A and B are shown apart, each in its own frame.
Chain A
Amino acid sequence: MRFRTKTILGVALIQALLLPLVVMSALHNLRQANEEELEQQVQLAGRLIAASARDAVISEDLATLDGIVAEVMAAHQFDYLRILDSSGRTLAAAGHPPAGPFHTDQRVAEVTDGSLDWEEAINVAGLPYGRLQLGLSTRRLEQALAEAWRWALGLLAMEMGLVALFSWLLGSHLVRQLIALRDASLRFASGELDHRVAELGNDELAETARAFNTMARQLGESHRQLSSEVSQRQEAQEALARANADLRRFAEISAHHLQEPTRRLTSFAQRLHSRLAGRLEDEEANLSLEFIVQGANRLRALVRDVQLYLAASEPRGEPASLNPDGVVQGVLERLAPQIRSSGAQIDLASLPPLPIDPPRLTDLLLALFDNALRYRQPERPLRIALSVGEGGAGRLQLQLCDNGHGIPAEYRERVFRVFERLQPGGPDAGTGLGLALARRIVESCGGSIHLTESSGGGTTVVIDLPNRTHT
């Protein structure tokens, strides 16, 4: 419902409830006052006429009585006047008295025939000598009241009309300003940040308009500021993305180009070693040869792991939903020499479908099994167990548990950093990239990886992954 309609209806409702009450009450008072006056008039007239006609009634002076009746009827507007003796015989009469038994009207409300009927006894020394009956017309009263009623209705109608007109004008005035505010809000919302409403006058609507303009100004300013910040940030982000892509490409190409000389260096170092080892007289030369071979091997491993690390965050095929156990077997075959030489006992659980593609699952398992085989506790036979568990809602958990020499709690997070090792360099040293690579693979598949201590020492790698069989 429109605001203007509501104003008009509200005012009309108040008027419709209150005004008839006021009018009815006024008309009621008017009627009551007039009726009382009429009743007093008829009683007073009755007593006066009775008093003046008493002597003539006693003496049955009909001529005098006729005279009194005629005089009274001429002076007053009674419907009738009748004087009777004690036996009920009419002594004198004028007008049209009612036929049949006479009924006195105590109040105007009892009137049924249009006449207020009144009877006055004519007594002398307590003895009844006769009666006086007279009727006063109530028609003029009814006419006057009907007139007053019509007038009141007319006034009521006019008043309602005026109220409707003024409330319509007031409503229109308010609505016009409200519409101006609404339109301004809509234009502001559609992007006209400089649009303002007119601030006319000093009333609450003008204050609202001023408040709106203040709000619009401040919103406009912060909007402009935010827009410029957003565009700056977008540019910075694009620049950053380009720089990142460049850097990544550079790293990949660098690793690729490093591979060739590294491979040659390794080949020739090994060739030299196989030819000269044990044949050199000079101990320093023998040591140098060892260091050359070690350095070359280390360099080859580093270049390989850097390449794997760079490729770790992108899928290299479809997820291993078909045969993850085949991937595990492939990894164990590649590590067969280390497994044989360490005499490791390996327990494998059958793996469910995993959200990792086979090439990266291979890299991940290679890195983890390699660590388990590399950092074993020499005093006890190496045992490695791969197990699967539920990891909560829609997750699954892989655990690779070994009984190696373990990792102190303070280093269990640090070892995930790139090039971070806990062992000094040497012929058997790792590259320090294995766990960093593992974390990069797992996290890019929506999982997480951390280390805990195995029961009885050793390290357990815990990998939490989204469970593909649930999706």
Chain B
Amino acid sequence: MTQKQPKPFIVLLVEDEPADAHLVRVALRENRILCDVHHVIDGVEALEFLRHQGPFSGSPRPDLILLDLNMPRMDGREFLSEAKADPALHEIPVVVLTTSDVERDVVASYQLGAAGYITKPVDVEQFVEAIRQVQSYWFVLVRLPEAG
């Protein structure tokens, strides 16, 4: 019976603001795809999570990383350049959560290899929809090799 159950889609949320993290969780929960959300609060913790270091020794490899930009210690831009330089990590798709299109363009100009961008909208419904699109797109993409 357990073989029939689909493996959950694992998302690593890197976000230091509790309110924004809550919104992302709400949006992920409202979509129907079975989703396992892990939450860390900055780039340092995210790298520890991905490298199974410190308190994250048993952490799973995420299918998708949702990355905030402004964080303590190591911000989204620094995390992205570090993760993309690491051969063990650079294939994990990273979708950047930005607060404005201007910020998105600035980050894109660094050519750090983000797989996509979501501008955090003021309207919660819009945000849920944006997360849903990203989630289903990557869910399908990640599942495809297994299906094939």
Main secondary structure on chain B at its contact with chain A?
loop
Residues in A neighbouring B42, C-beta threshold 8 A: 424
Which one of A291, A294, A295, A423 lies within 8 Å of B72 (CB-CB)? Answer: A423
Instruction: Confirm or deny: A198 has a beta carbon within 8 angstroms of a beta carbon on chain B.
Output: no
Question: Do A294 and B70 touch across chains, with their CB atoms under 8 A apart?
Answer: no
Annotate A273-297 by CB proximity to B: 1 below 8 A, 0 otherwise.
Answer: 0000000000010010001001100
Across the interface, do B73 and A294 meet the contact criterion of CB distance under 8 Å? no
Which residues of the partner chain A approach B72 to less than 8 Å between Cβ atoms?
Answer: 420-424
How many Å from the CB of B12 to the closest CB on chain A? 15
The smallest C-beta distance from B78 to any residue of chain A, in angstroms, reads 10
- Tally A-B pairs: CB < 8 A: 28
- Complex contacts, A191 vs chain B, CB 8 Å: none
Is B83 an interface residue when CB atoms closer than 8 A count as contact? no
Q: Mark A409-426, 1 if CB is under 8 A from B, else 0.
A: 001000000011111111
B residues 47-92 touching A (CB-CB < 8 Å): 70-73
Contact of A287 among B16, B22, B41 (CB under 8 A): B22
The answer to whether A424 and B71 touch across the interface, beta carbons within 8 angstroms, is yes
- Residues of A near B73 (CB, < 8 A) are 411, 422
Chain A's closest residue to B26 (CB) is A284
Q: Are A291 and B19 in contact (CB under 8 A)?
A: yes
Q: Which residues of A from 370 to 427 have beta carbons under 8 Å from B?
A: 411, 419-426
Count the A residues whose beta carbon is within 8 Å of the partner chain — how many?
14
Interchain nearest-CB distance for B54 vs A (Å)? 14
Residues from chain A with Cβ under 8 Å of B18 in the complex: 291, 294, 424-426
Q: Using an 8 Å CB-CB cutoff, how does the interface string of A166-183 with B read, 1 for contact, 0 for none?
A: 000000000000000000
Contact B17 A425 (CB under 8 A): yes
Determine the chain B residues whose CB is within 8 A of the CB of A426 once the complex forms. 17-18
Are A424 and B22 in contact, CB atoms less than 8 angstroms apart?
Answer: no
Residue tally, chain B, CB below 8 Å to A? 12
How many Å lie between the Cα of A290 and that of B73 in the bound state?
A: 26
Residue of B nearest to A294 (CB): B19
Task: Assess the B19–A424 pair: CB atoms within 8 A.
Answer: no
- Which residues of B lie under 8 Å from residue A423 when comparing CB positions? 72
Q: How far is the CA of A423 from the CA of B44 in the complex (A)?
A: 12
- Residue pair A424, B70 in contact (C-beta under 8 Å): no
User: Whole-angstrom distance between the alpha carbons of A132 and B42 in the complex?
Assistant: 145
User: Which residues of chain A in 236-291 are interfacial with respect to chain B, using CB atoms and an 8 Å cutoff?
Assistant: 284, 287, 291
Q: B121 → chain A, closest Cβ, in Å?
A: 15
Contact status A291-B22, CB under 8 Å: yes
- Chain A 309-343 per-residue mask, 1 if CB under 8 angstroms from chain B, else 0: 00000000000000000000000000000000000
What is the minimal beta-carbon distance from A406 to any residue of chain B, in angstroms?
14
B residues less than 8 Å from A419 (CB atoms): 70
Query: Chain B nearest CB: distance from A423 CB in Å?
Result: 6
B67, chain A: closest CB distance, angstroms: 14
Chain A residues lying within 8 Å of B17, measured Cβ to Cβ, are: 424-426
CB closest residue in chain A, given B40: A424
Q: How far is the CB of A295 from chain B (nearest CB, A)?
A: 6
Q: In the complex, A284→B22 CA distance in Å?
A: 10
Interface hub of A419, A422, A424 (most chain B Cβ within 10 A): A424
CB nearest neighbor in B for A422: B72
- Among residues of B, the one whose C-beta sits closest to the C-beta of A410 is B73
Smallest Cβ-Cβ distance to A290: which chain B residue: B19
A295-B41 contact, Cβ under 8 Å, with A411-B73, A421-B72: no
- Contact partners of B71 in chain A: CB under 8 A: 424
How far, in whole Å, are A294 and B21 apart by their CA atoms in the complex? 14
Q: Give 1 or 0 for each of A423-434: 1 = CB within 8 Å of chain B CB.
A: 111100000000
Instruction: Please report the C-alpha to C-alpha distance between residue A295 and residue B18 in the assembled complex, in whole angstroms.
Output: 10
Q: Determine which residue in B22, B41, B72 has the highest number of CB atoms from chain A within 10 A of its CB, and name it.
A: B72
Binding site for A on B (CB under 8 A): 16-19, 22, 26, 41-42, 70-73
| Cβ contacts A to B, 16 pairs, < 8 Å | A284-B26, A287-B22, A291-B18, A291-B22, A294-B18, A295-B19, A411-B73, A420-B72, A421-B72, A422-B73, A424-B18, A424-B42, A424-B71, A424-B72, A425-B17, A426-B17
5 nearest A-B residue pairs (beta carbon): A424-B16, A425-B17, A291-B19, A424-B41, A421-B72
13 more A-B contacts (CB under 8 A) besides A294-B18, A425-B18? A284-B26, A287-B22, A291-B19, A294-B19, A421-B72, A422-B72, A422-B73, A423-B72, A424-B71, A424-B72, A425-B19, A426-B17, A426-B18
